[in-house]
Structure 1
């Protein structure tokens, strides 16, 4: 379903008369699965690393149908574009997918914002914004992911001045446990805890994002950049363009590729490595047809900021991803620690990506309170071997306060996570207040941010 460009303000949408009052307490009181409409089995996630345990998947076609499904279900969560690599989006009861709901894109030119349907992917909304003269300031590697899912997990792109995708949010609309519609804006004291919420506060239906006038981007690649250059002056490398990604392995003397995405029309002035002479994929040996255009050829922002083209399967598909985000001040020390672990990492590694993100004030954002460097691992799909490797990576990164990406594999327990997020007590209180009967909780939340910790 293609998005439609509108001009209406976000508002609170239409209400079915009496729905909220009829539904009050239903989620709390019901002990049976919801049977108010057609359902299917949820199946598996995108990378086939998780089979959903939910009893059923329902696809409402309107907000009111969604509200009724939530209000009448004892346990319910939203399933987005299936790009989480584990059970984050799973439910012990009903899953709902919003992919049958309208994909509106409503621009408020005076406010410099666009309100979009939560289930829409960035690949869907970006061309609509561009045609109307607007753009987003950042995008993730994959344009395939849904707006709500990316925001709820603190997913990010790359750039010293490019915040996480959640950092572009100015307001969002959520269906609460009784089917009530809640609109939370930046003026609300709950806002910093509501944006990156891991689905713990309800089903997000619409998101308002900051936009700016549209722009073009060129992408240049340098190959075989010495690790010595990166370790000596990482700031110079990361600031060489508006968005910079380093693709590497850990047991070599060079960083294989540095991708530089720039709003300037001229090639970044750098002396390290050698310029690419043909298009490349982030993973060596894979056809570059999957990747966005390089070699300095300019194009619209949404066709350059992601690494992968929307019309192709991103990355390799048969993979497991992990990622850890740590204070930028510790970047080079963390790189050296990972290089020492290279002989253990590289046999399971397809590629690592290093990116930078400025800090934000969103309580569960992995970039909360600090300028951040992110180290991503695309690993072969060998679950047992990856489970053995991740604790080793986490141990060497522990001295640097590394936080895991919520949607990717990690093994850190609730006690370690509690140490990494200073506002976690406030988030737990917010979740108890917004969802007192735990309608939106699942196994992932209960072993991570909402676990029962000893006093």
Structure 2
């Protein structure tokens, strides 16, 4: 029987295109209340910032929100770590850390997302030297099916299977992240660069600054957004690719209000206010949209992008914008960057679920020779995922051993074979 705890109305997903099947969203006020939910016999999934475009976070039972637990970040300056509630957003954590003289090595394009949700799905920013956000994790506290809280830390046998686990091991109560001394970043945008020249020199483009994004609508032209640390060596010269410095602020999607984006024009500012594309106080991206992302080995990224361009160029009417980003390899078993430097081919689509799903299937077929891995939180057509992850069987074994009855399973994790039927 479910305990008597506070509830909220069940919301829609972030983009508004689908509702959750669960009929209840519970908001425990303590770890004890959460444990009573987890051990009630009802299936449970944890709801974060709702920035998923599939049923990844849905449950046939109940959803729980962890922001009512009332826990606060704890900084260990000597160890250079910060332990944060899993429900905390990067937009809140960033300035809090900066005020105390510390920083994260990377952030995603949206600061609105929760820490636990981001690391659990290997969400990422951009930068040849930056891992996915999961790469910063030092330890996790996870509540298991027995209601007990377990700490998993670097060096533990199950660590790399526990960080990117899609919520299948239980609610992530806290995440301990590595931090470094705070730093500043300047962001510049280069407009009207020849897309073919970028694709032919993609490695050099991504290596040209601390964090680089290429935006295009597959019309032969692209813009390059470069976010560069002021304490790093100077940015590489890309003038040979053509283009021109933007003469004002830009939004990744043509026609959208650029005031929602972080400051550009080379104006220096703190890392947390430059590494994301969007300001925490504004609606990010287009709002009503869909997103897909397919991650390929950096070594074949140019060929993969060229193959993707053939599909995406034919369906430009559905494409709001595509983005190319890079990231370093990590060891997490279900990370899209597991043991390979990676480039993400990300597309923001018009919100036409049927049409986009069809085109994503076509895109995945074109990317099949390049061993693509779909982003866990975005639209995908394939459920054939096991062969894309060398440690898949280990991940499945860990989930089944931790949750044999499938309390933390949902329709998505069952469909892809991570949890039992």
> Within 1, Cα distance between the matches of 2:401 and 2:107?
32
> Alpha-carbon deviations, 1:80-114, whole Å to 9, x = none?
01101111111110110012222411111111110
- SS class of match (2:73): strand
1:125-164 pair list within 5 angstroms = 125-164=93-132
Matched, 1:280 2:250: yes
* Residue of 297, 306, 310 corresponding to 1:340: 310
* Residue of 151, 168, 183 corresponding to 2:151: 183
Task: Tell me which residue corresponds to 1:387.
Answer: 357
How big is the shift at 1:41?
3.6
> Within 1, Cα distance between the matches of 2:417 and 2:245?
44
Matched, 1:376 2:342: no
> Structure 2 length as normaliser, TM-score?
0.96
* Residue of 382, 393, 411 corresponding to 1:412: 382
Cα distance change of structure 1 residues 42 and 330 upon mapping to structure 2, 3 Å threshold: same
Matched, 1:260 2:230: no
> Within 2, Cα distance between the matches of 1:267 and 1:443?
45
- SS class of match (2:290): strand
* Worse-matched range after superposition: 106-115 or 149-158: 106-115
> Within 1, Cα distance between the matches of 2:312 and 2:102?
43
How big is the shift at 1:270?
2.6
> Alpha-carbon deviations, 1:337-370, whole Å to 9, x = none?
1222234331100000000011111000011011
Task: Tell me which residue corresponds to 1:14.
Answer: none
Report which of the two structures shows the higher radius of gyration computed on alpha carbons.
1
- Structure 2's unaligned 5+ residue stretches are none
Task: Tell me which residue corresponds to 2:52.
Answer: 84
- Structure 1's unaligned 5+ residue stretches are 1-31
* Residue of 72, 78, 81 corresponding to 2:40: 72
Matched, 1:204 2:204: no
Does structure 1 conserve the Cα–Cα contact (< 8 Å) formed by 2:107 and 2:125?
Answer: yes
* Residue of 83, 93, 107 corresponding to 2:61: 93
How big is the shift at 1:49?
2.2
> Structure 1 length as normaliser, TM-score?
0.89
Task: Tell me which residue corresponds to 2:29.
Answer: 61
- SS class of match (1:341): helix
How big is the shift at 1:37?
1.9
Task: Tell me which residue corresponds to 1:43.
Answer: 11
How big is the shift at 1:452?
6.5
How big is the shift at 1:264?
2.5
1:303-314 pair list within 5 angstroms = 303-314=273-284
Q: Calculate the aligned-residue CA RMSD, in Å.
A: 1.4
Does structure 2 conserve the Cα–Cα contact (< 8 Å) formed by 1:424 and 1:449?
Answer: no
